[in-house]
Amino acid sequence: MIQTKIYIIIVMPIFKSEAYKLFKITVNMIGALQVHHTATHLLQAALKKVIGQETSQAGSLVAFDRLRFDFNFHRPLLDSELAEIELLINGWIEDAILLQTKVMLLADAKREGAIAMFGEKYGEEVGFATNAFDI
């Protein structure tokens, strides 16, 4: 019999009227979240490479079954740009580049090129991920 590990996630209420919510999350679900989370980073890198560094992430949704990526740019993307972005991301995925992660001071991470996302608040130490794909 195959056993699946179950992780219990407790989501604290935002409003006093809400109750605490418990979610059962399986290893497969965590894998889906990781894939979609990584895809948001690939999409941001591809956007910056294709349309320029002035684009910025404005928000995102990372779910088990999908992702949404909001970004700012001064015009709609051209069909040719969309095709190039898709080609880049698919190439990086096919190359199966390993992701290296470490915990470091926020200031050190920024010196190494970390991008702080749209005003999020970070602690003194942050998780820093690097890879070798060519951007």
State whether 34 and 51 are in the same domain: yes
How many independent structural domains does the chain possess?
2
* Alpha carbon distance 95, 93 (integer Å): 5
Cβ contact 28:7 at 8 Å: no
pLDDT at 9: 47
Mean pLDDT by 10 residues, the chain (135 residues): 47 52 64 81 89 89 87 94 93 78 78 64 69 54
Q: Looking at the domain assignment, is residue 10 inside a domain?
A: no
Please indicate, yes or no, whether residues 90 and 44 belong to a single structural domain of this protein: yes
**Which pLDDT score, from 0 to 100, does residue 77 have?**
93
Are 82 and 112 in a shared domain? Answer: no
> Exposure of 127 by Cβ count < 10 A (0-12 exposed, 13-18 middle, 19+ buried)?
exposed
pLDDT for position 107: 79
> What is the extent of the structural domain holding 67?
29-96
Of 7, 117, 132, which Cα lies nearest the Cα of 62?
117
Q: Do 47 and 89 reside in the same domain of the chain?
A: yes
Same domain, 44 and 79: yes
Does residue 12 lie in a domain region? no
Are 134 and 116 in a shared domain? yes
In a domain, residue 125? The reply is yes
User: Do 36 and 54 belong to one domain?
Assistant: yes
Say whether pTM exceeds 0.85. no
Provide the sign of the torsion angle of the four alpha carbons 78, 83, 88, 90, taken in this order: positive
